[in-house]
Structure 1
Amino acid sequence: MSAQSADPVVGAPSAPAGGSRANTVVFTLMVAVFLSLLDTQIVATALPRMVSELGGLDLFAWVTTGYLIGGSAAVPIYGKLGDLFGRKRVFVVSIVVFLVGSLACGLATSMTQLIVFRVIQGIGSGGLFISVLSIIGEMFSPREGARYYGWFSITFGAASLAGPTIGGILTDFAGWRWVFLVNLPIGVVALLVIITMLDLPARITKATIDYAGVILLVLAIVGLNLLTGWAGSKYAWGSPVILGLAAGSVIAVVLFILSQHRAVDPIMPLRLFRNSTFSIAVTISFIAGFVGLGIVNYLVLWLQTVLSLGVQESGYVLAAMMLGVVVTSYVTTKIIARTGSYRWYPVLSMVVFAVAAVLFATAGPSTGLVPAVVYMLLFGVAGGLNSQALSLAVRNTASYQDIGATQGTATMLRQMGTALGVSLFAALMTSRLTTELNERLGSGSGVPVDKDGSLSPEVLGKLSAEVRLRVSTAYADALQTVFLAVIPIVLVGFVVSLFLKDVKLAGGNRRHSSDNS
């Protein structure tokens, strides 16, 4: 049975959806998103304790990687399932999976168990994120929903800034297991609120699930994530493992696209790309993920190796960037809600990205702390200008039966852009860094630089002033290659964004009176 023909929501009359009940529901949804985002940050501070108790030092990176891969693979699948079976149902399933994974992580007795349970937790997390986006898209019209999409930015910023602190406090006072177990009471309350207060319309109960598409998409996403995470760091670019992952990922992507032509209810309906606004918006999302999130690690590396800032000082400067993202995104969504227009924010975003990249490319060890904060703030402003504007542009193209599919596709492509950006920038930096360090220090310098080009502030601080300046200059020159590479990419994004049509967001609110989902 086709979801399009059987979905009773299409063409349903709209009614006001505001009021305290709607605000309570949206606030609860943000709490669920906060838990999901928090678990990408909170675990880092507890990892040393986990390794100390469980062992498996060679596997500890997978505690984070498994969570991210599980979430990435889940996003487009949950989005489509919400379109087919009802977003409330999918949200409930997602949060239950997330909580079961959290409980299992808190009870894990080995590193292998912990990694498996983190993948499960990540699958629930990805479903939570895309379900909340889709639920807000169904509860409200695009223009009214702009008010609430701004809450995402505040939630993202709060989770990013609070994660390490909360993780440290829980680990020190309650033990590392409570990093996961703390999700249970909060998550159960959120689950009960959504079950009792969220009213959404009935969806079809029977559908032809695209199993082939699900399997191929998971294989493609997992392969691309492993490829971008391992290439140039764990394995050489020309190694059999990397070449095999590259070939396998390409084959999976091609087969997935072919499968979407044949599927009755495809996970990613290719007809969505016939809408020029959707195609342009998701392309810009990919580019924004590539340069906006893909370069964050290298901004931190620049602070610690070029300016020789400590971990805590770097965190404070990074907070300036997060502040730029949160404030700009929130203000932008408020303006979009009032005017109904989103077109020029992605254009301006690419311009600001280019300016920030030029400033970082021309900076060096003599750059002061104040200019560095300003440069970081510019990167944050650039990210904030496009994040919710693009989500709203995508939402504005979707009929009610495709809200999940459109949001899932856009989110997945942004995540893929981020993964590819990290990999490309790592390759550019490490190749240049090796040359620069050899020229300034000699091949036998003994400076302990990791394969990914990282050098801890503690190690840098132990070097003599002369050697430290040489190392900082080498990093500045190597990272200059990264920042210069950003410029042509964002120029492409600038050109593409100029073609984004000025389609006003649909106005009015929507509330559904029945809840059979």
Structure 2
Amino acid sequence: MTEGTSDTTAAAVEEQPLDTQQEKQQQPPASAHPSEKSQGVVESKPEAKPGPPGGPGGPGGGKPFGPGMGPAVEYPKGLKLYSIIISLYLAGFLTALDRTIIVNAIPHITNEFNSIDDVGWYGSAYLLTFCAFQLLFGKIYSFYNPKWVFLTAVVIFEIGSAICGAAPNSTVLIVGRAIAGLGSSGIFGGSVIITFFTVPLHMRPIYSGIVSVIFAIASVTGPLIGGGFTENVTWRWCFYINLPIGVVTIMVLVLMLQMPPARKAGTPIREQFLQIDPLGNLCLIPGVVCLLLALQWGGATYAWNNGRIIALLVLAGVLLLAFVGIQIWLQEKATIPPRVIKQRSIAAGVAFTLMVTAAMMTFTYYLPIWFQAIKSASPVHSGVMMLPTVISSAIASLVAGFLIHRLGYYTPFMIGGSVLMSIGAGLLTTFTPHISEGKWIGYQIFWAVGCGMSMSSLPMHSFEAVLTYNLGMQQASLAAQAVLPRQDAPIGISLIFFAQSLGGSVFLSVDQAIYSNKLSANLGDIANLTDSGVTSIQDRVSPQDLPRFLNGYNGAVIDVFRVALAASCACVVASTLMEWKSVKAQKGGPGGAGGPGSGQPGMGPGKGPSTANGATTTKPKWDAGTQV
């Protein structure tokens, strides 16, 4: 291509560099085969020199915007850039905070609504929609302007938060949580995509590091903030806090953020609709809902042999089996291509993520209930009593991440972490009403260190690695990047993310069923205790019934903890099935794809995989339009 080539042609050809000097560096030799020219293949020469930063061939080379998402546009700078990034961070902070801020508020919510039987729904309703719609949002982002899709997701999240804050009863609160989860599913992926468009490649590790700090802060402070609001103002401010911050985010992005044109231009509406796998989603979403309803109602609202429960379980099985059949039928057009899930480490990683999330969410939701019901702790105090878990997990994650960075292997930490998790979970099941302070602190630390090791990550240097942190299940995400071809990495990572969300929603429903059934069996004849809230429950117990109450309530929570123990033990099995792959093997040298002198877009210096013959392609095998 010469300098006189039209702008239209230049924009249409993704492989073309951004200026004439870079074009000359990237053009194939005259003797190249025509098919090689059309594929953008260049011959790597020993004397290849790095190009300028941010350009093809330079450190972090590649076009300033993801291929396949529109023409190149200048990166925002200065105040504009910082305003956009801070707004994205705020949106991400709110969605991360929303998962933990309600934990210490739940006992007071049950007091106000007399809704102990709905405890599991306050978490699983959010996670259900968050899980069910994230793959769909990934498809939508590939066809429409990410700015407006992201803003739509933020608005949905705000509407859900407003409904939760103003909820007059437990049912409305659950509906609001489901709407907030729907918005959150679009915020996570959207923030990654917008960062991809606004931050130069060589600067992304810095901003990614800030993301990790923000998510850590949200995880640690969420229960404390929720407890503070609940005790000093009202639990409703756990949701109202999202509204002013969300409005600021929307205003800044509307005024400051500029995005390239959407890819939907020229794509028929019918084709867009078919590419989001409508049949698969029509089976997956109601199938998961039926399963959760059966688990929530079974043994509590209705007997397990009730026709409603049987019908829900049968319908869930049929719909989920139909979803699997549709994925096999569609193959490459499926939401989950079968060849990806057949990969050994991906299958094991999905199982590992499902189980570690189940254990984590179980303890996150039911430890505060135990502290407030058995130890009569206030919401703030129960948050403080949870600090051994959150702090130990964060420290263990950072230490394990550093060791993985130095050693290269993540599988040993998955195995070791899951073993520690299992031992710690076993210790937590020994809780008694009169357990000493040293034991309940030490047992939390033991379990949390194992959990943190299992969730650790490497420093983030690429688009996929940014996703890796947001996914939360770090080790399994590293496996997805290490064992899959680059074009399949986003699919593998999205599977891990999906398993994370599904594990939380399904197992919180299982926990709720066990909790409600055990409470009814142990305390059903003591002044209708199962119809009261958690924090006020001891007030309704006579002195002569108090010992039986404490033992019965403790037994119900311990039975739930045994679910987390089983999930932790399952993590041990899943971790041993992982392949031993070194993430250090993913780094290429100078002249290799992603190294200085290469034309591999979207990679920092030395971060791309080397090829046997030194040939590289200027067009990556995946783009920002791939589902994330």
TM bucket by the smaller chain? 0.7 to 0.9
* Equivalent-residue separation in structure 2 for 1:63 and 1:401 (angstroms): 37
Shift of 1:356: 1.4
| Deviation per residue, 1:205-252 (Å, 9 max, x gap) | 745412212222222233333333333334333333322222222111
TM-score, normalising length: structure 2:
0.65
**Of the candidates 351, 356, 370, which is equivalent to residue 419 of structure 2?**
351
* Equivalent-residue separation in structure 1 for 2:216 and 2:527 (angstroms): 44
Residue of structure 2 equivalent to 1:493? 571
Task: Give the AA of the match of 1:362.
Answer: T
Would you say 1:70 and 2:129 are equivalent positions? yes
The higher radius of gyration belongs to: 2
Shift of 1:492: 2.9
Shift of 1:179: 3.5
In the superposition, relative to structure 1, how do residues 147 and 190 fare at CA in structure 2: closer, same or farther (>3 Å)?
same
Would you say 1:386 and 2:454 are equivalent positions? yes
In the superposition, relative to structure 1, how do residues 58 and 422 fare at CA in structure 2: closer, same or farther (>3 Å)?
closer
**Of the candidates 123, 141, 149, which is equivalent to residue 93 of structure 1?**
149
- Please say if residues 66 and 116 of structure 1, whose CA atoms lie closer than 8 Å, have aligned partners that are also in contact: yes
Residue of structure 1 equivalent to 2:395? 327
* Equivalent-residue separation in structure 1 for 2:375 and 2:397 (angstroms): 28
* Equivalent-residue separation in structure 1 for 2:510 and 2:159 (angstroms): 36
Task: Give the AA of the match of 2:497.
Answer: T
* Equivalent-residue separation in structure 2 for 1:271 and 1:493 (angstroms): 23
Shift of 1:27: 6.1
TM-score, normalising length: structure 1:
0.77
| Deviation per residue, 1:134-176 (Å, 9 max, x gap) | 77899979x9698577446415414623551675599669989
**Of the candidates 296, 301, 326, which is equivalent to residue 229 of structure 1?**
296
User: The residue matched to 1:31 in structure 2 has which SS?
Assistant: helix
Would you say 1:16 and 2:16 are equivalent positions? no
Residue of structure 1 equivalent to 2:365? 297
Would you say 1:507 and 2:551 are equivalent positions? no
Task: Give the AA of the match of 1:318.
Answer: M
User: The residue matched to 1:333 in structure 2 has which SS?
Assistant: helix
Counterparts of 1:19-418 in structure 2, within 5 Å, are: 29-40=88-99, 66-82=125-141, 84-85=142-143, 89-90=145-146, 92-102=148-158, 106=162, 119-132=178-191, 150-151=212-213, 153-158=215-220, 160-161=222-223, 163-164=225-226, 178-188=240-250, 191=253, 195-196=257-258, 206=267, 208-209=274-275, 210-263=277-330, 265-387=333-455, 388-418=474-504
| Deviation per residue, 1:344-402 (Å, 9 max, x gap) | 22212211221112212233123112221222233332332223222222244454544
* Equivalent-residue separation in structure 1 for 2:228 and 2:437 (angstroms): 27
* Equivalent-residue separation in structure 2 for 1:157 and 1:175 (angstroms): 18
| Deviation per residue, 1:116-142 (Å, 9 max, x gap) | 66644432211222444677899979x
Shift of 1:43: 6.7
Residue of structure 2 equivalent to 1:3? none
Deviates more, 1:208-217 or 1:149-158: 149-158
Would you say 1:474 and 2:552 are equivalent positions? yes
Shift of 1:317: 0.9
- Please say if residues 46 and 176 of structure 1, whose CA atoms lie closer than 8 Å, have aligned partners that are also in contact: no
- Please say if residues 297 and 513 of structure 2, whose CA atoms lie closer than 8 Å, have aligned partners that are also in contact: no
In the superposition, relative to structure 1, how do residues 91 and 239 fare at CA in structure 2: closer, same or farther (>3 Å)?
farther
Deviates more, 1:198-207 or 1:23-32: 198-207
- Please say if residues 349 and 385 of structure 1, whose CA atoms lie closer than 8 Å, have aligned partners that are also in contact: yes
Computed over aligned residues only, the root mean square deviation of the Cα atoms, in angstroms, reads 4.9
* Equivalent-residue separation in structure 1 for 2:261 and 2:587 (angstroms): 19
Shift of 1:458: 2.7
Aligned sequence identity (%): 19
Shift of 1:14: 7.9
- Please say if residues 98 and 120 of structure 1, whose CA atoms lie closer than 8 Å, have aligned partners that are also in contact: no
Shift of 1:339: 3.9
Shift of 1:36: 1.6
Shift of 1:457: 3.3
* Equivalent-residue separation in structure 2 for 1:283 and 1:344 (angstroms): 17
- Please say if residues 91 and 246 of structure 2, whose CA atoms lie closer than 8 Å, have aligned partners that are also in contact: no
Task: Give the AA of the match of 2:290.
Answer: G
* Equivalent-residue separation in structure 2 for 1:474 and 1:57 (angstroms): 19
In the superposition, relative to structure 1, how do residues 193 and 203 fare at CA in structure 2: closer, same or farther (>3 Å)?
same
Task: Give the AA of the match of 1:446.
Answer: A
In the superposition, relative to structure 1, how do residues 422 and 168 fare at CA in structure 2: closer, same or farther (>3 Å)?
closer
Task: Give the AA of the match of 2:136.
Answer: I
Task: Give the AA of the match of 1:213.
Answer: G
Shift of 1:320: 2.4
Shift of 1:80: 4.3
* Equivalent-residue separation in structure 2 for 1:428 and 1:56 (angstroms): 19
* Equivalent-residue separation in structure 1 for 2:346 and 2:443 (angstroms): 31
How many residues align? The count is 496
Shift of 1:281: 0.9
Shift of 1:253: 0.8
Deviates more, 1:352-361 or 1:115-124: 115-124
* Equivalent-residue separation in structure 1 for 2:116 and 2:427 (angstroms): 38
* Equivalent-residue separation in structure 2 for 1:117 and 1:268 (angstroms): 29
In the superposition, relative to structure 1, how do residues 331 and 178 fare at CA in structure 2: closer, same or farther (>3 Å)?
same
Residue of structure 1 equivalent to 2:470? none
Gaps spanning 5+ residues in structure 1: where?
A: 1-5, 438-442
* Equivalent-residue separation in structure 2 for 1:46 and 1:488 (angstroms): 25
Task: Give the AA of the match of 1:184.
Answer: G
* Equivalent-residue separation in structure 2 for 1:330 and 1:20 (angstroms): 32
* Equivalent-residue separation in structure 1 for 2:318 and 2:556 (angstroms): 34
